Amino acid sequence: MSDDPIKEALHLMPYGFYSLTSRSGDDVNAMVANWIIQASFTPRLMTIALQKTSYTHGLVEAGRVFCINLFKKEDQEVMMAFTKSRSKNPDKMKHVSYSEAPETGCPVLDGAAAYIECKVVDIFDVGGDHDLVVGEVVGCNILKEAEVGDMMTLPYIGWSYAG
């Protein structure tokens, strides 16, 4: 046991591992994200916790759209290109292969098994270092056959983003 049982318990929560893409005008970005959940059946809403200082936060706030790219475990290497922030890798989108999602224009990354397009409903400042962004699902597509157990997760790659 550690001296911080809350942190230890939060590290036990198994999160998915996704690439979140965004667009504002001609500016696009992709980052890795894991604090993403479905928040409503009707309408279908997704909620993401997005770090206030991230480049993507600014794009989502300005462009009011985002896309969740889901990857299979076998495609882990494709996602690793997006683990560095835009400040550390300003040209990270320069050689990225993607198509534009039909409803939002956000990048759909080559190699993704599926994507979910969202239009921002609201952004909530909850007083922490992340804001909660709620988006209504406006489109999606399944690009590769997959089962839930085939999908990329933080436990699969041995990472944790919690605590």
Is 162 contained in some domain? no
- Structural domain containing residue 131: 5-157
Query: Is 163 a member of any domain?
Result: no
Residue 58 lies in a domain: yes
Each residue's pLDDT expressed in tens, for the chain with a length of 163 residues = 678 999 999 888 889 999 999 999 999 999 999 999 999 999 999 999 999 999 999 999 999 999 999 999 999 998 888 888 888 888 889 889 999 999 999 999 999 999 999 999 999 999 999 999 999 999 999 999 999 999 999 999 888 887 7
Q: Give a yes or no: residue 69 inside a domain.
A: yes
Count: domains in the chain: 1
CATH of the domain at 51: 2.30.110.10
Residue 110: partners with Cβ closer than 8 Å, 6 or more residues away: 78, 97, 98, 99
- Token readout for 70 is 């889901």
CB 80 within 8 A of CB 53: no
CA atoms of 81 and 88, how far apart (whole Å)? 12
With H, G, I as helix, E, B as strand and everything else as coil, classify residue 47. strand
Residue 27 domain flag: yes
